[in-house]
Amino acid sequence: MIFIVKSTLKVLEKEINELTKSMTASNVYHVDTKAKYLGQHVLAEFFECDPNILNNAQKVESLMIDAALECGATIVQKCFHMFSPHGVSGVVIISESHLAIHTWPELGYAAVDLFTCGDKCDPKVAYEFLKNAFHSTKASFSELKRGKIDAACHVSETPFEIASQF
Amino acid sequence: MIFIVKSTLKVLEKEINELTKSMTASNVYHVDTKAKYLGQHVLAEFFECDPNILNNAQKVESLMIDAALECGATIVQKCFHMFSPHGVSGVVIISESHLAIHTWPELGYAAVDLFTCGDKCDPKVAYEFLKNAFHSTKASFSELKRGKIDAACHVSETPFEIASQF
């Protein structure tokens, strides 16, 4: 009887260990601090923004260009589009990848992507700049790492990893 | 003795249940199936692609346009850039948001974003189209949901959620 209970306990303990291990070693949240990545991709969500700014294509374009310059990027090309009845979509291609925006002025919401390569640009600077520029009272920042380089200088065949989220 | 073992078993069982619950109810993997989202954002990684295709700006542009049309999108604007010595960056703005690409021909790798709004487009179709077009032998697909709409028709102040990943 004691033997059966002991072995059941062992099975349960093993199960807990495996569950805990799979949670902490999750592909999604775990970023290998020693690894190199080709790109860092920030998904920024801006809530409660000024709808007049989000619905002004020229203003949005100008702010996205300023955000790129503020974070140290080199602008290569840009294209912006004003939707009817409202909303702006636009992209700034930079030497270090791209910045993209889609706005929903009627909801005070903008979804922004800041994709950069190398160490030259700091996407956090662009994020803070846009948060202020849009008068956003609440925002979220998720930094993903894409294109992990393995020891043999090949790209690891794994999806993105989340480096930080706040 | 048996009482102690039984209560230890109960504690262990409870711990397993809680761990399992917290894994399945995680903010990251859990998508509220009843909720509406403004956009779906697919992060696609294409590995072991044909480097000659990834280093041909005209070809990449033409394939990205075809991918947009294949998945049912309406093209609004586009801009593509060829880097020196290699690599292509480009964006197709569609009525339903955007498609973006950055290629590293020297590594056979392309990072693609397929951001769509509404139900008109199926980003999986664009993903499969590009996987074949780039002759990619391995690829990964992560579908994020952005801009969750709450019961009062406001945008929830939460970051993206992962809907599927393979």
Which of the residues A4, A5, A14, A46 would you substitute to probe the B interface, choosing the one with the greatest number of B C-beta atoms within 10 Å? A5
Least confident of A1-15, B15-29, B33-47, B131-145: B15-29
pLDDT at B24: 37
pLDDT at B162: 84
Q: What is the ipTM of this complex?
A: 0.76
Segments in chain A forming alpha helices (H): 2-24, 51-54, 57-70, 123-133
Residue B107 φ/ψ, nearest 5 degrees:
-115, 0
Residues forming beta bridges with residue B82, ordered by sequence position: B88
Task: Report pLDDT digits (tens) over A101-145.
Answer: 999 999 999 999 999 988 888 999 999 999 999 999 999 999 999
Per the model's pLDDT, the better-predicted residue between A30 and A119 turns out to be A119
Task: Report pLDDT digits (tens) over B96-111.
Answer: 889 999 999 999 999 9
Concerning whether B7 is annotated as a catalytic residue, the answer is: no
Cβ contacts of residue A45 below 8 Å, gap of 6+? A109, A110, A111, A112, A139, A140, B146, B147, B157, B158, B159, B160
Least confident of A41-45, A53-57, B152-156: B152-156
Quick one: three-class SS letters along chain B?
Answer: CHHHHHHHHHHHHHHHHHHHHHHHCCCCCCCCCCCEEEEEEEEEEEECCCHHHHCCHHHHHHHHHHHHHHCCCCEEEEEEEECCCCCEEEEEEECCEEEEEEEEHHHCEEEEEEEEECCCCCHHHHHHHHHHHCCCCEEEEEEEEEEEECCCCCECCCCCEEEEEC
Chain-wide mean pLDDT for chain A? Answer: 84
Q: What is the pTM of this model?
A: 0.78
CA distance A60 to chain B (A): 15
The structural domains of chain B, with segments of one domain joined by +, span 32-165
Answer yes or no: is pLDDT of A23 > 90: no
Range A8-14 average pLDDT = 65
Are B38 and A111 an interchain contact pair (Cβ–Cβ within 8 Å)? yes
Catalytic residue, from A89, A102, A142, A156: name it: A102
Place of tokens 């339903």: B96
pLDDT at A21: 44
Compute, in degrees rounded to 10, the torsion defined by CA atoms B97, A56, A73, B111: 0
> Which residue from B minimizes the CA distance to A105?
B155
Pairwise CA distance, residues B35 & B45, whole Å:
27
Pairwise CA distance, residues B82 & B63, whole Å:
15
Give yes or no for a contact between A31 and A161, defined as CB atoms under 8 angstroms apart: yes
Concerning whether A117 is annotated as a catalytic residue, the answer is: yes
| pLDDT-derived band at B3, boundaries 50, 70, 90 | low
Are B38 and A1 an interchain contact pair (Cβ–Cβ within 8 Å)? no
Answer yes or no: is pLDDT of A91 > 50: yes
> Residue B8 is nearest to which of A9, A95, A165, comparing CB atoms?
A9
For residue B52, what are the CA distances in angstroms to A37, A159, B61, B129? 23, 23, 14, 17
Range A59-81 average pLDDT = 95
State the burial class of residue B11 (Cβ atoms within 10 Å of its Cβ: 0-12, 13-18, 19+): exposed
Answer yes or no: is pLDDT of B16 > 80: no
DSSP state of A30: -
Are B157 and A138 an interchain contact pair (Cβ–Cβ within 8 Å)? yes
Task: Report pLDDT digits (tens) over B62-82.
Answer: 999 999 999 999 999 999 999
pLDDT at B150: 84
Pairwise CA distance, residues A21 & A32, whole Å:
16
Answer yes or no: is pLDDT of A29 > 60: no
Range A61-88 average pLDDT = 94
> Which residue from B minimizes the CA distance to A146?
B111
Q: Which fold has domain B32-165?
A: S-adenosylmethionine decarboxylase (3.60.90)
